[in-house]
């Protein structure tokens, strides 16, 4: 996954009397890469993509970049760190999730407004605004003659069930940004340069850094 692309850190877990240490290799999460706002605004490099039902990041990477191992590129571009919560569920998984979360998936989650216009067809209230029980709104329906109308929660809104609410959230995750294939190699090179360590005496190599013994000794 994405974390496999991060550099390693040899972390000291034990200091001996002779001053040497036992090390364990871990991923250096402090080197986490995030796409900059400037890069994201470079619209020519990206395009919108709708994830097909049931597809994983690996499948998307295979379809777009001919390499399932580049799934980490898909995840970084979309700031996805947890595929279980940030990636859309397939239909079966969604149903299992909703039925485990709610006692009654078909119960009302909230109400939203209908689309309302005046006598001239001008928009007064857009569809989909979340409103609370007891909501009302008075507006000028026409000017000649002057006619005012009052919208109410009971007559001018519709119910959204728990299932519909969760389904909307899941569907919203389907639209992602993808890096155009012609920019892929430049992106990978930039990622490796940014997440690699600067040359110093603690390096095993540019992707592996050893924790300084003197730094750890202070806490033992």
* pTM beyond 0.95, yes or no: no
Q: Which structure tokens are listed for 140? A: 């000028």
For residue range 32-45, what is the model confidence (pLDDT) as tens digits? 555 555 455 555 68
pLDDT for the residue 216: 40
Name the residue with tokens 């496999």: 4
Work out the mean pLDDT of the chain and round it to a whole number.
Answer: 81
What would the pLDDT profile of 61-101 be if each residue is shown by its tens digit?
999 999 999 999 999 889 898 899 999 999 999 999 999 99
Between residues 218 and 176, which one has the greater pLDDT? 176
pLDDT recorded at residue 105: 98
Residue 133: C-alpha distances to residues 35, 155, 158 (Å): 42, 12, 11
- Average pLDDT of the residues in 186-201: 71
For the record, the structure tokens of 204 come out as 């095993």
């Amino acid at each position: 996954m994405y974390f496999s692309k991060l550099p390693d850190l040899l972390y000291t877990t034990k200091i001996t009397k002779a001053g040497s240490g036992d090390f364990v290799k871990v991923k250096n999460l402090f080197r986490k890469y995030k796409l900059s706002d400037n890069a994201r605004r470079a619209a020519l490099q990206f395009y919108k993509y709708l994830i097909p039902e049931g597809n994983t990041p690996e499948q998307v990477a295979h379809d777009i970049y001919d390499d399932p191992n580049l799934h980490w590129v898909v995840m970084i571009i979309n700031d996805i760190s947890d595929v279980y919560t940030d990636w859309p569920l397939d239909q079966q998984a969604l149903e299992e999730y909703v039925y485990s979360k709610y006692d009654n998936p078909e119960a009302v989650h909230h109400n939203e407004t209908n689309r309302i216009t005046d006598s001239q067809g001008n928009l007064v209230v857009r569809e989909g605004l979340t409103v609370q029980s007891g909501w009302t709104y008075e507006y000028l329906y026409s000017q000649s003659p002057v006619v005012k109308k009052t919208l109410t929660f009971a007559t001018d809104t519709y119910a959204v069930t728990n299932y519909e609410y969760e389904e909307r959230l899941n569907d919203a995750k389907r639209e992602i940004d993808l890096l155009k294939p012609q920019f892929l190699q430049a992106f990978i090179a930039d990622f490796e340069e940014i997440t690699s360590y600067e040359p110093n005496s603690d390096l095993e190599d540019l992707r592996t850094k050893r924790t300084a013994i003197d730094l750890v000794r202070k806490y033992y």
